[in-house]
Amino acid sequence: MKNLLHSPALYIAIVVTAIAALLPLWLDAYLLGILTVAYYFGVFSMAWDLLFGFAGEVNFGPTFLIGLGAYTAAILDNQFGPPIFVCVLAGAVVAVLGGLLLAVPALRLSGPYFGLVTLVAVLLLQNAIVIFAHWTGGEIGMTVPDVLSIDANENYWYALVFLVVSAVLLFGLSRSAVGLILQASGQDRIEAQALGFNVTKHKIAAFCVSALFSGVAGAMLIFYMGTASVDTVIDISIGVQVIIAAVLGGRRTILGAALGSIFLILATEFLRPLGQLNTFVVSAVALAVILFFPDGLLGYVLRAGERE
Amino acid sequence: MNAPVRLRVEHLNKRYGGLVAVKDISLELRAGEIVGLIGPNGSGKSTVMKLVMGIEPSSGGTIALDGDDITRWPSHRVARAGVGIVFQHSRPLHRQTVLENIKLALLPDSLLRLFAGRDVDTRARAIADRVGLSAVLNRRPPTLPFADLRRMEMAKAIARDPKVVLVDEPFAGLTLSEVATFSDLIRGFRDEGRAVLLVDHNVKSVAALVDRVFAMYLGERIAEGTAEEVMRDPTVRRVYLGGEIVASQKRSAAGTAKPPLLEVKDVSVLYGKAQALDNVSIHVGEGEFVSIVGLNGAGKTTLFNAMSGLVPYSGTITFGGQDLSRLTAGGIARAGLVQCPEGRELFGDMSVEENLDLGGQHLTAARRHEQLDWLLEMFPILRERRTQAARTLSGGEQQMLAIARALMMDPKLLILDEPTLGLAPVILEQLGRALERLRETSPITVVLGEQNVTFALPHADRVYVLEHARIAWEGDPQRFASEMGTGYL
């Protein structure tokens, strides 16, 4: 606990949160909207970092978990119209169950095979949505009758509070005893087992936690946007964006993942005048950061402190 | 010896495909005793350790801890039941402090206990104190010297409070004074009534510490008894030394007069924090056959890798008057210094002929044919096996192929690193004859690294003994038996 109070990450996080809380005073509805989306992506990336940075498993299909949460909530709302929190809860449950279904067999595999299985899972989900178009809206997507709010300010607050709560929980978990065991499992599986830790159990638990946050964030995102479509929550390119954001921000930092997401989405927005070049420039910057600062932006700052 | 048996291994077997790594091994470990499990590389001793720990499943036999059958248990359950292991190479948590690394070992295997209790902190500090880490509690592992990293591994093992402790190569990479400290720690395990199994390459390093030694070779038990008994055992001597030492008489004092081809001067190599080579200087004359003998872990492979430009080193290595530090590993090989590595490194799915062709890539077609013919003459068995995939060859054939492939590169100097590794005695004879033919039919200079002295001596013009990263002796093979023969094991 004492270490936590000395951690520069904590102070960076408090300052960033304070600034974020004051932003609605200055920004217009359009920019707040962009940030709202960025915050949900921040949760996606943090959930992914728990799995990659701590448990050491590369999940190439974060959108499998996100998509399960989002589409479960959307279909439920569309068909039966229960209160929003029920839909979000259902989305979370299905994401965790789907995650378990995927992780239990996949974690028996080692090396790149786990990653490949998660990648295939995304393609399967994508195809399932197209095939069951009657329920899901297929390639066009579906509208969601209910939304969180029609007020940009209110939506911004929902997203920010959700981001901060998720960050506190995930960061806390990563610094807990379980987080320590997870890191040991990710770094040297054999030694962690020799120290008496059931590595598979811990990794599955990490996968479930990652699925839980991904699912809830996915569900809340569609209730913000009012639509659910393959292109916004499931497509491989969305998953790649989540991964790049986490690596960009700093592996094994959790908070860095959130910063990376916000940075990535804001950069795309501000470079929009470049037209076609926009994505190219953002990707090039991301590539440069990964090549020259493999620890990521926040990771670089923190490691500099550790080296002393 | 009336202490209760802690660990009982009976008729343990392990097969990897067709390879038998462990064959019918039975051993007992009693409370409060230290047993050394020794054997050269590839003898199966590490496999036994992994089987006991449940890291790999056994193919037969039983392992019992305090009478409970733990044979099929997963690793973490074996650990919880009271078996601890000190790994030689581990990857500690680099971003956590030493204290946190020790605390890790004290945590329960539970998803619900999110925060460790206060007692964990107190116990971790006490353990750190016992192994001598108190001064560096808040440092991170990457900043620690090698011995402290080993201390941390010890601390983690102690934290688990095991009934049985397995220690993999307890003293590798440590200085003499550190060896004394670690010996005391291991004796401490014994005094607390724990059963300790030390896994190491040779008797010498653990002799002072162990109550009993169990020696293995090619997966089988070859001797058991006190350290002295095992060192005197004829089978053990044959495995390590290769039996009676006979030096060849025909080439006396030929080497020293020849012009120098390779000169290694004051070369040191550090692996992380472990000193792998300490100020080693050797010279090799043109056309000379030099053997470098030393036990596993003495630094032979490191020396060869430094020559081949595969590891960074301090000091200078010149080859034919050229400073090798300016060349890349590929450039060194093209300049004529070719290594046939330990473990062969063949392309298993390619045929014998394809493997040889790859070695001769930079030669002209005519030259390649000539070289190939010469080699197939020298290793007739390879002619018969031309179209066979390399991995289907026997161990001895693979070794010959590896040597032949290195020779296809048309070297001026050939380095052979432990060619006898894991080969049966009959095969050694064939291999020895091939080396003899190589000496007679070509002007190639050869540097042979071996732990099997009998294999290394007959061919050699000159011998170096490498011990604990240093050159301990140099001279002709005839003098080896009288001067070094007894002290070597």
Give me B180's structure tokens.
């004394």
| Residues in chain B within 8 Å Cβ distance of A190 | 55, 75, 87
Does residue A148 register a pLDDT over 70? yes
DSSP state of B71: T
Does residue A5 register a pLDDT over 80? no
A224-265 pLDDT, tens digit each: 999 999 988 999 889 999 999 998 888 888 888 999 999 889
- Contact status, residue A80 vs residue A204, Cβ threshold 8 Å: no
Nearest CB partner across the interface for B107, out of A181, A190, A194: A181
The pLDDT of residue B250: 47
Q: Tokens 């039919």 identify what position?
A: B441
Question: Which of B73, B88, B109, B158 should we substitute to test contact with A (largest number of A Cβ atoms within 10 Å)?
Answer: B109
Amino acid at B203: V
The pLDDT of residue B486: 57
Q: Is B114 on the interface with A (CB under 8 A)?
A: yes
How many C-beta atoms lie closer than 10 Å to residue A139's C-beta? Answer: 12
| Residues in chain B within 8 Å Cβ distance of A195 | 76, 79, 104-105, 156, 160
What distance in Å separates the CA atoms of residue B189 and residue B199, rounded to the nearest whole number? 15
Q: Which residue has the higher pLDDT, B427 or A15?
A: A15
Give me B431's structure tokens.
């291999």
pLDDT grade for A306, boundaries at 50, 70 and 90:
low
Strand partners, B280: B267
Nearest CB partner across the interface for A195, out of B91, B96, B105: B105
Strand blocks (E) in B272-391: 274-285, 289-293, 314-319, 322-323, 337-340
For residue B104, give how far its alpha carbon lies from the nearest alpha carbon of chain A (Å).
Answer: 7
For residue B231, give how far its alpha carbon lies from the nearest alpha carbon of chain A (Å).
Answer: 32
The pLDDT of residue B88: 78
Residues 6+ apart with CB under 8 A from B14: B20, B21, B22, B44, B47, B51, B56, B58, B59, B219
Question: Which of A2, A49, A193 should we substitute to test contact with B (largest number of B Cβ atoms within 10 Å)?
Answer: A193
DSSP-assigned states of every residue in B405-454: HHHHT--SEEEEE-TTTT--HHHHHHHHHHHHHHHHH---EEEEEES-HH
Q: Do A184 and B85 touch (CB under 8 A)?
A: no
Instruction: For CA atoms B334, B336, B339, B344, give the dihedral sign.
Output: positive
Tell which B residues from 273 to 312 touch A, by Cβ distance under 8 Å: none
Helix (H), strand (E) at residue A125: helix A112-131
| Residues in chain B within 8 Å Cβ distance of A201 | 109, 111
Backbone angles phi, psi at B340, to 5 degrees: -105, 100
A260-298 pLDDT, tens digit each: 999 889 888 888 888 778 778 888 888 888 888 878 877
- Contact status, residue B454 vs residue B246, Cβ threshold 8 Å: yes
Instruction: Give all domains of chain A, ordered by start, each with its CATH number.
Output: 2-307 (1.10.3470)
Helix (H), strand (E) at residue A142: strand A142-143
The pLDDT of residue A12: 79
ipTM: 0.82
Strand B34-38 relative to strand A227-228, pairing: unpaired
Q: Is B117 on the interface with A (CB under 8 A)?
A: no
Residues 6+ apart with CB under 8 A from A106: A113, A114, A117, A118
Does residue A203 register a pLDDT over 50? yes
DSSP state of B255: G
Nearest CB partner across the interface for B76, out of A188, A197, A205: A197
Rounded to a whole number of angstroms, the CA Rg of chain A reads: 19
Q: Is B156 on the interface with A (CB under 8 A)?
A: yes
Give me B245's structure tokens.
């030492």
How many C-beta atoms lie closer than 10 Å to residue B68's C-beta? Answer: 11
Which CA distances in Å does A57 have to A52, A124, B104? 5, 20, 20
What distance in Å separates the CA atoms of residue A300 and residue A131, rounded to the nearest whole number? 45
Residues 6+ apart with CB under 8 A from B133: B98, B102, B148, B151, B152, B155
Residues of A with CB under 8 A from a CB of B: 172-173, 176-178, 180-181, 183-184, 187-188, 190-199, 201-202, 205, 252, 306
DSSP-assigned states of every residue in B79-107: HHHTEEEE-SS----TTS-HHHHHHHHHS
What distance in Å separates the CA atoms of residue B199 and residue B46, rounded to the nearest whole number? 7
DSSP-assigned states of every residue in A208-237: HHHHHHHHHHHHHHHHHHSEE-HHHHTSHH
Strand blocks (E) in B322-418: 322-323, 337-340, 413-417
Question: Which of A174, A182, A190, A195 should we substitute to test contact with B (largest number of B Cβ atoms within 10 Å)?
Answer: A195
What distance in Å separates the CA atoms of residue A179 and residue B169, rounded to the nearest whole number? 31
The pLDDT of residue B379: 86
Burial class (CB in 10 A: 0-12, 13-18, 19+), B366: exposed
DSSP state of B254: -
pLDDT tens, chain B, 489 aa long: 578 899 999 999 998 776 778 999 999 999 999 999 988 766 888 889 999 999 989 999 999 999 999 999 999 999 999 999 998 777 788 888 899 999 999 988 888 877 777 888 899 999 999 999 988 888 888 888 888 888 999 999 999 899 999 998 888 777 778 888 899 999 999 999 999 999 987 777 788 899 999 999 888 899 999 988 988 888 888 777 665 555 554 444 444 556 789 999 999 988 877 788 888 999 998 888 999 988 777 888 899 999 999 989 999 999 988 888 888 988 898 889 999 888 778 888 888 888 888 888 888 888 888 888 888 888 888 888 888 888 777 777 888 899 999 998 889 999 999 888 767 666 777 788 888 888 888 888 999 998 878 788 888 889 999 888 888 888 888 787 777 665 565
Please name the CATH architecture into which domain B5-241 falls.
3-Layer(aba) Sandwich (3.40)
A26-83 pLDDT, tens digit each: 888 899 999 999 999 999 999 999 998 888 888 888 999 999 999 999 999 999 888 9
Give me B23's structure tokens.
């064959």
Helices A199-225 and A62-79: crossing angle in degrees, nearest 10, is 50
**Sheet bearing B68-69, strands edge to edge:** B19-30, B5-16, B60-65, B68-69
CATH dotted code for B255-483: 3.40.50.300
Does residue A125 register a pLDDT over 90? yes
Question: Which of A187, A188, A197 should we substitute to test contact with B (largest number of B Cβ atoms within 10 Å)?
Answer: A197
Distance of CA B459 to the CA centre of its chain: 23
A-to-B residue pairs, Cβ atoms closer than 8 angstroms: 76
For residue B144, give how far its alpha carbon lies from the nearest alpha carbon of chain A (Å).
Answer: 12
Q: Which regions of chain B carry the CATH code 3.40.50.300? A: 5-241, 255-483
Q: Three-state DSSP class for A151?
A: coil
Q: Do A194 and B115 touch (CB under 8 A)?
A: no
The pLDDT of residue B485: 60
